[in-house]
Amino acid sequence: MLKDFKTFLLRGNVVDLAVAIVIGVAFAALVTSFVDNLITPIVAAIIGEPDFSQLTFTINGSVFHYGAFLNALISFVSIAAAVFFFVVKPVNALTARARRQPSPDPTTKKCPECLSEIPIDAKRCAFCTSELAAA
């Protein structure tokens, strides 16, 4: 039973998931720091409010903390932009490069009757036995 547990833990997908979680937590801390220390002060300088979390309004005794929502919104947009530009776009580019079709083999051609791949010098198709014009 201990051997099975060890095998389970050392499987690639479990280790990959653990690494992804650790990297995700570190990335979240990085983006949170970026938003808190750079983006929020820039937006605050434009609007004139240094801390959005203190922005509130009251209706019938109920306090609405819309500043906290603004902080969360800025964080979300920043995280989404960072993930898109630093993860999604590069991975898509790498995937597109990997999926490039190899150039057609110049030693074969398609039979005009059955569209099978045949040698370029063939005079008769091996699949449908039709006679071919000289290349």
pLDDT digits (tens, 9 = 90+) for 45-98: 887 766 677 888 999 999 998 888 887 887 788 778 878 888 889 988 988 888
75 in the same domain as 16: yes
Q: Is residue 93 part of a domain?
A: yes
Per-residue pLDDT at 101? 67
Q: How confident is the model at residue 36 (pLDDT cuts 50, 70, 90)?
A: confident
57 in the same domain as 116: no
Q: Is residue 1 part of a domain?
A: no
> DSSP of 34-64, one letter per residue?
HIIIIIHHHHHHHHT-S-GGG--EEETTEEE
What is the pTM for the complete model shown? 0.49
If one counts every other C-beta atom within 10 angstroms of the C-beta of residue 35, the result is: 21
Structural domain boundaries enclosing 117: 104-135
Total count of domains within the chain: 2
Structural contact between residues 52 and 36, judged by C-beta atoms closer than 8 angstroms:
no
CATH number of the domain enclosing 14: 1.10.1200.120
Angle between helices 66-83 and 40-47 (to 10 degrees): 130
